[in-house]
A and B are shown apart, each in its own frame.
Chain A
Amino acid sequence: MAGEALRAADLRKVYQTRGAPEVEALSGVSLEVHRGERVALLGRNGAGKTTFLRIASTLLRPTSGKIEVFGYDVDREPDRVRPYIAVVPQEGKPFFHLSPREQVYTYLRARGLSRETAQTRTEESLRRMGLTDFADRLSITLSGGQRQRTMVATVIATEAPLLFLDEPTIGMDPFARRGVWDSLRELTARGSTILLTTHYLDEADALSQRLYIVERGRILVTGTAEELKRSVGGTLKVTIPNGGREAERFRTFGSCVSEGETLSVIVAPERLGELMALAVRIGLTATVGPVTLEEAFLRVVGRSINED
C-alpha cells in the first residue's frame, strides 16, 4: 500500500438514463482522506454522497476525474483496490436465512481469511456490536436495528485498511449507535481509515475528525466539526420564544432564523450579555446553548441553496 488512503480529484458523475434527463450527481469533487482518519460526508438527500462512496468502493464508474485508493487508480485497477476496502452499503441487509454468526464468519471466509482468524474476529465483532445474545437466530427474526448491527459487525470484522460506511447506524437505538462509534474509534486507533456518510449530525460531530459538506454534487465546506460550527458567526445559539416578530432588532448580533414565533440567533460569546439585556428590556425570555453541528449544517447548506 502506498499513498493516501483516498484521493479524489475533480470527480464527475453524470447519470444517463434512457428517456430521462441527465443528472449530474457529482460536479468536480476533490477530497482527501488520510490514513487512520475518520471522515464524514454530510449532505442532503441526493447531494451525491452515496454516488461518491460507490465510485470510491469500485462499484460505480465515474464520468471523469481521478480517484485513488492507497495509490491505486480505482477506475483502472479496481481489482487492486478491493482487497483493501470493505463497504456497508446503504440499506444493505444481511442474508435473512443466515444467523449473525454465520453471516460474519462466512463473509470473512469469502474475503480469504483463515478459519481461525475468521472465528476469532466473528466472536469479537458480535460482542462489540452487542449481538452475542442473538448470534444464532436467523436474521429474518431480528429487528431492523439488529440487522443493521449485523451488517456493521460483518464489515468491521474485516479490519480492512479502508472502510466505507453509508449511513451505518440508521435504525439503531442510541446505545447501539454509541457501540458502533466506539468500535470505529478502536479501528482507526489500530490503523484503519473510515469514510462514512450519515444524516445524524451528532454522529458526525462525535465521530469524525474531519468532514466534508456536499451539496448538489459539490463540496461546500471542509474542516473539523468545531471549525464548521465557528464558521457560522458564533459559538452560542440563543433561542427566544415569541421573538419572531422582533427579529430585526436582533439581526445585528448575528445570523437569525425564525421558526414560527421562535427566533434563534447565533452569537459570539462576547456579545451574549448585550443580547440578553436587549431581550429582557423588551420583555422576552431566552435560553442559551452551544451551536450544534446541525445548526451549522443548516446554515451552510441553506446559504448555498439561497445563493443558487
Chain B
Amino acid sequence: MRTEAERVAWPFRGLPAFFRTEALVQLHEELAMATSMMVQVVLLIFVWILNPGLIGIALVGAVIFSMFSMGQRVLNEAAYIRIDHKANELYLAGPLSAEAYFLGMSTGILAVYVPPVIAVAILAALVIHATVPILLMLAGLSGAVWLFSASIGYVFSTAFRDNRAIWAYSSLFFNVFGVLPPVFYPFHYFPAPLHPVVLLMPPSAATALLQHAIGATALTPAEIVLAVTGLAVETLGLFLFAIYWARRTVRER
C-alpha cells in the first residue's frame, strides 16, 4: 500500500484504468477495427500479383507496417480527444499522470488492434519457416517500431489546433516511413546510395534486419550496426522524449 505522497509521486498512477478506458473506446469502433488491415492486405495482393516469391518478405513487412500504423493511431486519437473532446483537461486536471495518459492510450489502442497482426505474423512465420530466434526478433523489432511510432505520434499530436491539419501529416508519416521504403519489398531493391537513409528509418531498418536474418537480403556489418544503433537510439530517445513531452504539455505556457 503506497502512502498518499508516494501515490502522488508514482509516475504511472492510473495507467491500468486509462488503458482499459482507451481499449473500451476502441472496441466500440467496429468500422475502424474492420478496416485496420486494409492497406496491408492491398499491398500484399500487389506483391502477390507482381512476384509471388516475395510474399514471405511482404508478410514480414506487413507485420512491421501494422505496428507502425498502430502507433500512428495514437497521433490521431490523442489529437482528436484533445481538440474535440478536451479529454486531456478532464483527465489531467486530476490524479491521472501524464505518463499514464500517454501510455494508457497507446497500449489501449495496441491491445485492440494487435490480434489481426498476430494472425499475419503467424502466417509470415509459416511461409518463411521462421525459427524461434527469428520469431523473437520479429516480436522485438515490431515492439520497437510500435514504440517509436506511438512516441512520435503523441509528440506530434500536441502541435495541432485543428484535426484536419493532422490528416496530412498522418498520411505523410504513413507513406514516408511505411510504403515508400523497403518494408514490403526486398531491401536491396532500393537504390544503394539511399540505403543509409532507410536504415535510419525504424520500419525499414527493422524489416532490413529481418530480411537479413531470413537470408532474403544481405546487409554489410556496417549496415547492421547502423540499423541496430539507429533503431535503438531513435526508439529509446523518442520514447523518453515523449514521456518528458507528455508531462510538459499538461500545462500550456
Contacts and interface: CB of A to CB of B under 8 A. Distances in A.
Contact of A79 (B9, B26, B81): B9
A47 interface: no
A112 B251 contact: no
Contact of A97 (B28, B89, B95): B28
Given A83-B95, A106-B20, 9 more contacts: A57-B93, A82-B8, A82-B94, A83-B4, A83-B8, A87-B89, A95-B87, A111-B96, A154-B90
Counting chain B residues whose Cβ lies within 8 A of the other chain, the interface size class is 20 to 34
Interface of A: 54, 57-61, 78-80, 82-83, 85-98, 102, 106-107, 109-112, 138, 151, 154-155, 158, 160, 164
Given A90-B86, A92-B89, A112-B13, A83 B20 contact: no
A100 to B, nearest CB: 13
B175 interface: no
7 closest A-B pairs by beta carbon, nearest first, are A97-B28, A92-B86, A89-B89, A89-B86, A109-B17, A106-B21, A110-B17
B160 to A, nearest CB: 15
26 contacts: A57-B93, A58-B93, A58-B250, A61-B251, A61-B252, A79-B9, A80-B8, A82-B92, A83-B8, A83-B94, A85-B94, A87-B89, A87-B90, A88-B90, A89-B93, A97-B29, A109-B17, A109-B20, A110-B17, A110-B21, A110-B91, A111-B96, A112-B7, A138-B28, A158-B94, A160-B94
A73 B69 CA distance: 41
Nearest to B253: A61
A93 B250 contact: no
Nearest to A108: B17
Interface string B31-52: 0000000000000000000000
Contact of B85 (A94, A102, A107): A94
B90 A59 contact: no
Nearest to B252: A60
Contacts, number: 110
Contact of A58 (B18, B25, B251): B251
B65 to A, nearest CB: 25
A78 B252 CA distance: 13
B24 interface: yes
B76 to A, nearest CB: 14
Contacts of B13: 112
A111 B97 CA distance: 10
Nearest to A75: B251
B93 A110 contact: no
Binding site of B, secondary structure by majority: helix, strand, loop or mixed?
helix
B252 A59 contact: yes
A122 to B, nearest CB: 13
Nearest to A87: B93
Contact of A164 (B25, B85, B93, B253): B93
Nearest to B89: A89
Interface string B241-252: 000000000111
Interface string B94-132: 111000100010000000000000000000000000000
B95 A82 contact: yes
Contact of B86 (A91, A97, A106): A91
Given A79-B8, A87-B89, A109-B20, A95 B94 contact: no
Contact of B251 (A60, A138, A160): A60
Contacts of B18: 110
A97 B91 CA distance: 17
B14 interface: yes
A171 to B, nearest CB: 15
The residue among A60, A79, A110 with the most chain B CB atoms within 10 A of its own CB is A110
Contacts of B253: 60-61
Contact of B91 (A85, A91, A98, A107): A107
Interface string B230-243: 00000000000000
Given A85-B94, A110-B96, A59 B89 contact: yes
Nearest to B101: A110
Given A80-B8, A95-B81, A138-B28, A110 B251 contact: no
Given A93-B86, A106-B21, A86 B93 contact: yes
Contacts of A60: 251-253
A16 to B, nearest CB: 9
